[in-house]
Amino acid sequence: MGSIGTVTPQAMHFAEPLRLQSGAQLADYTLVYETYGALNADKSNAVLVCHALNASHHVAGTYADKPKSVGWWDNMVGPGKPLDTNRFFVIGVNNPGSCFGSTGPMHANPATGKPYGAAFPLLTVEDWVSAQARLADRLGIAQFAAVMGGSLGGMQALSWSINFPERLRHCIVIASTPKLSAQNIAFNDVARQAILTDPDYHGGDFYEHGVVPKNGLKVARMVGHITYLSNDDMAEKFGRRLRNAAETDDYAFDFGVDFEIESYLRYQGDKFSEYFDANTYLLITKALDYFDPARAHGGDLTKALASTRAQFLIASFTTDWRFSPERSREIVEALVSNRRKVTYAEIDAPHGHDAFLLEDPRYLGVVRAYYDRIAQEFAGEAA
Amino acid sequence: MGSIGTVTPQAMHFAEPLRLQSGAQLADYTLVYETYGALNADKSNAVLVCHALNASHHVAGTYADKPKSVGWWDNMVGPGKPLDTNRFFVIGVNNPGSCFGSTGPMHANPATGKPYGAAFPLLTVEDWVSAQARLADRLGIAQFAAVMGGSLGGMQALSWSINFPERLRHCIVIASTPKLSAQNIAFNDVARQAILTDPDYHGGDFYEHGVVPKNGLKVARMVGHITYLSNDDMAEKFGRRLRNAAETDDYAFDFGVDFEIESYLRYQGDKFSEYFDANTYLLITKALDYFDPARAHGGDLTKALASTRAQFLIASFTTDWRFSPERSREIVEALVSNRRKVTYAEIDAPHGHDAFLLEDPRYLGVVRAYYDRIAQEFAGEAA
């Protein structure tokens, strides 16, 4: 089991406009993507990995010029890893609207020549999946062995199974939900308000002012980050430990940093505000809020999933309070009602929502076993 | 059972400095308070009600000139109510640092003649209790029949039992905790960062700039408010209902309001930012973070509560995820270890942390029964 080594992102331009769910369209756009492993002769071993809020096409490996630039799911994807690149051809693609290379709000709007800013059209999970499908077309992949994602990435995998049922044999949805709850939306809206009311946001046109709404992004990230961690995990990692516990056992009695948890969260917020785009953050949180495939079916998830043909692996984590196991079980129940083949793993892990990104032998073992099964299928086909 | 009717706040000035836990002192200060009912001859029927973050001395009744100004615990305190003002003499007192009348950051700093702003000293729960004790001295109340509070108010009641053990016969602690968790502190720090980074905060000296850090306060309140409501309650009240559901069944595809929950939270945030003081918000969240009576005893809550002499009613609510029942049970266990008399009620209520302020027959019934018992004690004494 080794790392995938050095990887190089690629870019593909699409001149045909992408019609969006909102009625708007994206005139033309570029998608940045990476691939790992080799596509087999009958093109049956391709796996698409969909990214969540804070990630990109850079799923695994490192960039030659940046040794620390390890992909966000490097523990999942690689030679001998659960999604084994010795057997599978894996694609990571950056969604439009992102700030990691694909066309986004910081790029020039062809209509004005200036950066899109807040004029960049709002995209939905379904729009992203449509864009991903076009990339698959260009790469000559008619059907994926699997489409896989965690959190927002899981929503994309689920959307693939609903909207392109013949184009995937397996759908792997981890730490996700069929729709956001009122509480989920509420946290997203706090984050949005923090950004929108930052004077440096300039109605989304901060690029031309040479500033970035850092404070808003920082607060947005801080509140988001709290929801990614479990209460217990935070208690264990930080508890009430004072930041300078070695030097003092007393409170500072000012509005600086007293507790380690404050220091950690502010640091995470600051770091995030230095590399993430505010318009992208707004746009992605709206895509999260809008995802609700049952909505077109009067709220009936079973009906929404009736079009699916794939087999499913659904996984959740006991301490995830952002998208709790209960939300995954809703998906499982609706699939079972449709008599789909579903494997469900509810993993007892302490790390909350973030668990889907972390090392956990039971979790990675489940995914590995599932991919072993998929590999046997196309090994059988090939034989 | 009726309302307490019209009430009038009173003010008492204290010329002696209040020494604070931080080492600083409050040179002189005024406390605003209200009383309901009549003090009996042997002064044995006095109850002190301590307020939480967003409340004041105005516990019950209404102001003559403001018919909508109903006290924050009017369902709890009044003639024939659980805390029956026909039997008890009830005191509500506004803590120093607040923005509802007692000396606070918006008042003149005697050292400069300008508003204190961020120079107002940070107060702890213990400091508030010391200030309350001085008020009790002036009112000639050597011992309260009970000291009572919910949430941050419950911390004050607990602190009374520890630091002035002979001055209360009963201690009533509702929806509270012996200390904040890392997650609690994290949410408070998000709120503080939102305020501190608002350019209109001006380092706390916004008074002289004629502005208010409204945006920061709004975001702070929004995130706080989410933690006061239960996930289930929010789902039931708001779910994913669109704000203009009568007019449209489609999303807006912009950063305005889509969902009812967004509208509700922003409204709550806006309203709050119009009447609450930013420095007070900062100060009170720090008092919450700092409260940890076990800290002086190596983290041993049993030792911290060894000094108590009161009898206790501890109550919690099943869906309160801010200060969950588990936190109340820590208090109960430490009291039981000290062989104190404790009544514990864990109330199955849907409304999260806010439940302590709401109508709930089982909850109000428990408090009523407990006060009936207290009243029998001093009725017995009097007989």
Residue closest to A316 by CA, chosen among A302, A306, A307, A326: A326
Please state, as a whole number, how many other Cβ atoms lie within 10 Å of the Cβ of residue B33: 22
Question: Is A292 in contact with B258 (Cβ distance < 8 A)?
Answer: no
Phi, psi (degrees; rounded to nearest 5) at B35: -130, 150
- Looking at residue B2, its pLDDT comes to 76
Q: Considering only the beta carbons, identify the residue of B181, B194, B262 that sits closest to A219.
A: B194
Active site residue A353: yes
Kindly tell me if the per-residue pLDDT of B383 is higher than 50: no
pLDDT digits (tens, 9 = 90+) for A152-211: 999 999 999 999 999 999 999 999 999 999 999 999 999 999 999 999 999 999 999 999
Residue closest to B53 by CA, chosen among B98, B12, B107, B6: B98
- Looking at residue B360, its pLDDT comes to 96
Question: Is A235 in contact with B187 (Cβ distance < 8 A)?
Answer: no
- Which residues of chain A neighbour B121 with C-beta distances below 8 Å? 253
How many Å separate Cα A197 from the centre of its chain? Answer: 26
Element (H, E) at B156: helix B152-163
- Looking at residue B248, its pLDDT comes to 75
Coil, helix or strand for B378?
helix
Cβ B355 vs Cβ B317: under 8 Å = yes
Kindly tell me if the per-residue pLDDT of A72 is higher than 50: yes
Percent of chain B past pLDDT 90, that is, above it, reads: 95
> Which domains does chain A show, CATH number per domain?
10-179+293-380 (3.40.50.1820), 185-284 (1.10.1740.110)
Q: Per residue, what are the HEC states of chain A?
A: CCCCCECCCEEEEECCCEECCCCCEECCEEEEEEEECCCCCCCCCEEEEECCCCCCCCCCCEECCECCCCCCCCCCEECCCCEECCCCEEEEECCCCCCCCCCCCCCECCCCCCECHHHCCCCCHHHHHHHHHHHHHHCCCCCECEEEEECHHHHHHHHHHHHCHHHECEEEEECCCCCCCHHHHHHHHHHHHHHHCCHHHHHHCHHHHCCCCHHHHHHHHHHHHHHHCCHHHHHHHCCCCECCCCCCCCCCCCCCCCEHHHHHHHHHHHHHHHHCCHHHHHHHHHHHHHCCHHHHHCCCHHHHCCCCCCEEEEEEECCCCCCCHHHHHHHHHHHHHCCCCEEEEEECCCCHHHHHHCCCHHHHHHHHHHHHHHHHHHHHHHC
Rounded to whole angstroms, how far apart are CA atoms B205 and B227? 29
- Looking at residue B378, its pLDDT comes to 77
ipTM of predicted assembly, 2 dp: 0.95
DSSP B12: E
End-to-end CA distance of chain A: 26
Rounded to whole angstroms, how far apart are CA atoms A222 and A289? 19
Kindly tell me if the per-residue pLDDT of B377 is higher than 70: yes
- Which residues of chain A neighbour B255 with C-beta distances below 8 Å? 118, 192, 196, 282, 286
Can you tell me the mean pLDDT for B181-196? Answer: 98
What residue in B sits closest to A203 (Cα-Cα)?
B255
DSSP B259: B
Active site residue B353: yes
Length of chain B: 383
Cβ A172 vs Cβ A156: under 8 Å = no
- Looking at residue A112, its pLDDT comes to 94
Kindly tell me if the per-residue pLDDT of A245 is higher than 80: no
pLDDT digits (tens, 9 = 90+) for B205-231: 999 999 999 999 999 999 999 999 999
| Amino acid symbol at A308 | T
The pair of structure tokens assigned to B296 is 């002086």
Kindly tell me if the per-residue pLDDT of A334 is higher than 60: yes
User: B98, B102, B151, B176: which one is catalytic?
Assistant: B151
- Looking at residue B213, its pLDDT comes to 98
Conformation bin of residue A97: beta by default, left when phi > 0, alpha when psi is -120 to 50: left
Question: Is A253 in contact with B22 (Cβ distance < 8 A)?
Answer: yes
Residue closest to A12 by CA, chosen among A115, A108, A105, A140: A140
- Looking at residue A383, its pLDDT comes to 38
> Using 50, 70 and 90 to split pLDDT, how confident is the model at A216?
very high
A221 is in an annotated binding site: yes
Can you tell me the mean pLDDT for A13-21? Answer: 97
Helix locations, B229-292, DSSP H: 231-237, 260-275, 278-290
- Average pLDDT, whole number, for chain B? 96
Kindly tell me if the per-residue pLDDT of A381 is higher than 90: no
DSSP B166: G
Task: Give the burial class of B106: count Cβ atoms within 10 A of its Cβ; 0-12 exposed, 13-18 middle, 19 or more buried.
Answer: middle
Please state, as a whole number, how many other Cβ atoms lie within 10 Å of the Cβ of residue B41: 8
Kindly tell me if the per-residue pLDDT of A122 is higher than 90: yes
Kindly tell me if the per-residue pLDDT of B341 is higher than 50: yes
Rounded to whole angstroms, how far apart are CA atoms A279 and A120? 8
What residue in B sits closest to A196 (Cα-Cα)?
B255
- Looking at residue A382, its pLDDT comes to 45
Residue closest to A317 by CA, chosen among A169, A177, A194, A219: A177
| Amino acid symbol at A26 | L
pLDDT digits (tens, 9 = 90+) for B259-294: 999 999 999 999 999 999 999 999 999 999 999 999
Element (H, E) at B361: helix B361-382
Min Cα separation A173/chain B (Å): 22
- Which residues of chain A neighbour B22 with C-beta distances below 8 Å? 251, 253
Rounded to whole angstroms, how far apart are CA atoms B284 and B152? 9
Cβ B41 vs Cβ B17: under 8 Å = no
> Using 50, 70 and 90 to split pLDDT, how confident is the model at A42?
very high
pLDDT digits (tens, 9 = 90+) for B118-157: 899 999 999 999 999 999 999 999 999 999 999 999 999 9
Active site residue B320: yes
Length of chain A: 383
- Looking at residue B264, its pLDDT comes to 97
Coil, helix or strand for B249?
coil
Rounded to whole angstroms, how far apart are CA atoms A200 and A211? 6
- Looking at residue B380, its pLDDT comes to 54
Rounded to whole angstroms, how far apart are CA atoms A202 and B204? 24
The pair of structure tokens assigned to B60 is 């019950």
DSSP B258: -
- Which residues of chain B neighbour A181 with C-beta distances below 8 Å? 231, 234-235, 239-240
pTM over 0.80: yes
Kindly tell me if the per-residue pLDDT of B370 is higher than 80: yes
- Looking at residue B382, its pLDDT comes to 46
Kindly tell me if the per-residue pLDDT of B245 is higher than 80: no
